[in-house]
Amino acid sequence: MTRVNLVHTPRTEEEITARVKAIESILIEKGLMSEAGVDRFAEIYEHEVGPNLGAQVVAKAWTDPDFKARLLKDATEACAELGIGGLQGEHMIAVENTPAIHNVVVCSLCSCYPWPVLGLPPNWFKSMPYRARIIREPRLCLKEDFRLDIPAETEIRVWDSNSEIRYWVIPQRPDGSEGMSEDALAGLVTRDSMIGTGLTRTA
C-alpha cells in the first residue's frame, strides 16, 4: 500500500505572497469581496483569532503557575479570562507536554479543532492519512511525516477531538527562555507545537 507523506515541498515566501495576491485580486474583481473586506479578514485572522491567541495563552501559562493550573483544569474558562473563546471553542481541554509525555491531537472522524486558540485547521489535519496514521503509529507518523523525533523513553498520548471536546497542547517551554517577557515567549510558540506535531522555536 502506498503511504502518503504529509510533508509538502516548502514554498518560498515570495511564491506564497504572489498566490495570495492573485486570489485577492480575483475575489475583488468578481465582486465577492472589497479591498477593505480582504484587509479586515486578514486582520481578524492575524490578530483576533488563531495561533497568535493560543501562543499568548501558552506564554501566560509558562509564566503564571496559578493560571496554568486553571488552564489545565478548565481551558475554556481560563481562556475566557483573556477574552478568548467562541465558536468551536465551547469546550476545550489543554494537555501539557513534559519530558516524560508528548501529546498530539487529531480528530479521527472529521476535523474538529479549537478555532479560538489555533485558528483554522491546516489541510493536513483534515486529511485521512494523518487521521489514520497518527492513531495507528504516532511515533513513526511524527518522525516520518513531520520530522519530529520523539525519544523512545517519552510516552506519546494521542487525543481525539470531537464535536463536543476539542483538545490542544501546552508545549514545553524552551530552554534559555528564562527572563523573557510574555510577548517574547508567545513569539516562540508555533501552531504545530500546540497540535503536538511540532516544537516551539528556540529561545
Residues 87 and 156 in one domain: yes
Residues 29 and 57 in one domain: no
Task: Give the range of the structural domain holding residue 35, as residue numbers without chain letter.
Answer: 10-48
Q: What pLDDT score does 5 carry?
A: 43
**Of 112, 141, 161, 193, which residue is the catalytic one?**
112
Q: Is residue 62 part of a domain?
A: yes
Whether residue 141 lies in the annotated active site: no
Residue 92 confidence (pLDDT) above 60: yes
Residue 71 confidence (pLDDT) above 70: yes
Residue 64 confidence (pLDDT) above 90: yes
Q: What pLDDT score does 32 carry?
A: 81
Residues 123 and 179 in one domain: yes
Q: What pLDDT score does 40 carry?
A: 67
pTM: 0.78
Q: Is residue 201 part of a domain?
A: no
Whether residue 107 lies in the annotated active site: yes
Residue 10 confidence (pLDDT) above 60: no
Residues 187 and 143 in one domain: yes
Alpha-carbon Rg for the chain, nearest whole angstrom, is: 18
Q: What pLDDT score does 98 carry?
A: 98
Average pLDDT over residues 51-71: 97
With beta carbons less than 8 A apart as the criterion, state whether 83 and 159 touch: no
Whether residue 79 lies in the annotated active site: no
Going by pLDDT thresholds of 50, 70 and 90, the confidence category of residue 3 is: very low
With beta carbons less than 8 A apart as the criterion, state whether 120 and 50 touch: yes
**Of 107, 141, 161, 193, which residue is the catalytic one?**
107
Q: What pLDDT score does 130 carry?
A: 96
Residues 22 and 120 in one domain: no
**Of 25, 34, 110, 181, which residue is the catalytic one?**
110
Going by pLDDT thresholds of 50, 70 and 90, the confidence category of residue 12 is: low
Q: Is residue 170 part of a domain?
A: yes
CATH number at residue 75: 3.90.330.10
Burial class (CB in 10 A: 0-12, 13-18, 19+), 12: exposed
Residues 41 and 88 in one domain: no
Residue 126 confidence (pLDDT) above 60: yes
What is the total count of domains within the chain?
2
Q: Is residue 3 part of a domain?
A: no
Residues 108 and 42 in one domain: no
Beta-ladder partners of 93: 167
Least confident of 36-40, 52-56, 78-82, 114-118: 36-40
Average pLDDT over residues 76-101: 94
For the chain, give the percent of residues with pLDDT over 90. 67
